[in-house]
Each structure stands twice: as structure tokens, then as C-alpha cells.
């Protein structure tokens, strides 16, 4: 049996404000690069290291619908999308519909989980934990809502609200897509969808919770990367 070579290094790429489709194409390219190398290693019985990437980005206004999502959860038509300066894509991640836009920290880890652990459930829980710890750094108590992926505030109360959405894709233990944490998000855009297909639950943003006009998103990214590094035992 061939021994696995584990590469704990992750290359972080901050893409700034970038079009959703362009970023999705970049994700697909990196995802395929890792998958192709894994296939080649197995076919040739070689032990070349597989790379890992983490993309950090903000998107112009866009709605994305996961492969198991319901299009009826998009509450506006094509003309209204255009009026709001938003685009729409059906994509190949799990989950239902969500919104991305300026003021939102979007993280796409493209990892070979063979380098870390082969457990998707654990992977999702650690992504949530990294966000929960970031929010804790800002004095916000957050947690999980049973059966609903993502990070929530005031779970189990009538005031439950979502602050971070998640949806991933994995093949042969290689991941793509990821999470979106509302930092300075325009929450009005969420009124045009049933977020993640979950009715009658509110959405919030870090700046709203802190009572601030804006929060330093670069500081939020920095803290996320610090917690992610410890939780996944990685090197940058």
C-alpha cells in the first residue's frame, strides 16, 4: 500500500473584490489541478505532494443556488435582478440559495483533505468553529443551529439569526466553495431570497451586531486565518 504524503501548507490568495464567475472558474481550475495530481499519483504509484489553497474574496452583488436548491427561493425576476445590479448562478455546491456582496468575507478553501483528515462532517464543523471564534474575538456569542449548516446568533430563541452561510463541494476528498461571513453586508439584498431555503429566520451582519457603521474587514480576515491555522494544524 502506498504511503500518503501529507502537505500541511496552504497558499492563501486574497483576491479583493472579484466577479463571482471569474472566482468560480479559478476555484474549478485549482480543484482540477489537485484532483488530476491525485489521480496521477495513484496511477503511477508516486507520492508527490498535493497543494492546498485558500481564496479570500468579496464579490459584487450575486445570488447563487446550490445543486439541491429550489429556484422558487429566489423571489425576484431577471429584470429586477438587473435593476439591483445583481447576477445569478446555479452552481455545484451543496445547500440552497444565498447572497454574496461587498462587505462580506467570502472564504473558499480548496484543500486535499487527505493532507488533514478524511471527514467532511468534521471539516464543516471546523469551518463553523473558526467563524465562531472570530465572532468571539469581537465580543459576539455565536453557535450552531441543529440541522442547519452555518453560524447563528441566539439559537433556540425567537430572535435566531444567521451571520455566516456555508456550502461546499467535495470529490475524492478535495474541497471547493466554502463560507460567507456578513461583516458589513447590505442586508436588504437578503430580502430578495429565502436565505438557504430557511423561512422565517433573520439574517444579520457583524457591523449591525456591534452597532457600528463599518467593521475593519481586514482585521476579520486576519483573525479568521489565525483560528483556521490552529484548528487545521496548518502552515501558511
Would you please indicate which residues are annotated as catalytic (active-site) residues?
196
Distance from chain centroid for Cα 165:
7
Instruction: Confirm or deny that 95 is annotated as ligand binding.
Output: yes
- Tell whether residue 96 is among the known ligand binding residues: yes
Q: Is 142 exposed, middle or buried (0-12, 13-18, 19+ CB in 10 A)?
A: buried
Annotated binding-site residue? 180: yes
Q: Is 93 labeled as ligand-binding?
A: yes
CA geometry: angle 61, 213, 145, nearest 5 deg: 65
Q: Is 61 labelled a binding residue?
A: no
Contact 231, 130 (CB under 8 A): yes
Instruction: Compute and round to an integer the Cα radius of gyration of the chain.
Output: 18
Q: Could you give the 3-state DSSP secondary structure of residue 235?
A: strand
CA atoms within 13 A on the CB side of 203: 27
Q: What are the backbone angles phi and psi of residue 62, rounded to the nearest 5°?
A: -155, 145
Is residue 167 a known part of a binding site?
Answer: yes
Annotated ligand binding at 133? The verdict is no
The answer to whether the annotation marks 94 as part of a ligand binding site is yes
The Cα 45–Cα 39 span in angstroms is 10
Would the annotation count 100 as a binding residue?
A: yes
Residue 99 labelled as part of a binding site: yes
Binding residues for substrate: 93-100, 165-167, 178-180
Binding residues: 93-100, 165-167, 178-180
Amino acid at each position: 500500500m502506498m504511503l500518503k504524503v501529507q502537505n500541511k501548507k496552504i497558499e492563501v490568495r486574497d483576491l479583493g473584490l472579484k466577479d463571482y464567475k471569474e472566482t468560480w472558474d479559478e476555484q474549478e481550475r485549482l480543484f482540477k489541478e489537485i484532483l488530476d495530481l491525485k489521480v496521477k499519483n495513484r496511477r503511477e504509484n508516486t507520492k508527490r505532494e498535493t497543494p492546498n489553497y485558500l481564496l479570500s474574496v468579496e464579490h459584487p452583488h450575486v445570488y447563487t443556488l446550490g445543486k439541491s436548491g429550489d429556484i422558487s427561493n429566489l423571489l425576484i425576476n431577471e429584470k429586477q435582478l438587473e435593476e439591483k445590479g445583481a447576477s445569478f448562478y446555479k452552481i455545484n455546491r451543496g445547500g440552497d440559495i444565498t447572497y454574496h456582496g461587498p462587505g462580506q468575507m467570502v472564504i473558499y478553501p480548496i484543500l486535499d483533505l487527505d493532507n488533514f483528515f478524511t471527514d467532511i462532517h468534521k471539516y464543516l464543523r471546523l469551518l463553523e468553529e473558526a467563524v465562531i471564534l472570530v465572532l468571539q474575538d469581537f465580543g459576539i456569542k455565536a453557535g450552531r443551529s441543529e440541522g442547519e449548516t452555518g453560524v447563528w446568533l441566539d439559537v433556540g430563541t425567537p430572535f435566531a439569526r444567521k451571520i455566516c452561510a456555508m456550502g461546499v463541494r467535495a470529490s475524492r476528498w478535495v474541497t471547493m466553495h466554502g463560507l460567507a461571513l456578513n461583516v458589513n453586508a447590505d442586508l436588504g439584498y437578503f430580502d430578495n431570497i429565502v436565505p438557504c431555503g430557511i423561512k422565517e429566520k433573520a439574517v444579520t451582519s457583524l457591523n449591525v451586531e456591534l452597532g457600528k457603521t463599518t467593521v475593519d474587514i481586514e482585521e476579520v480576515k486576519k483573525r479568521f486565518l489565525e483560528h483556521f491555522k490552529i484548528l487545521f494544524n496548518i502552515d501558511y
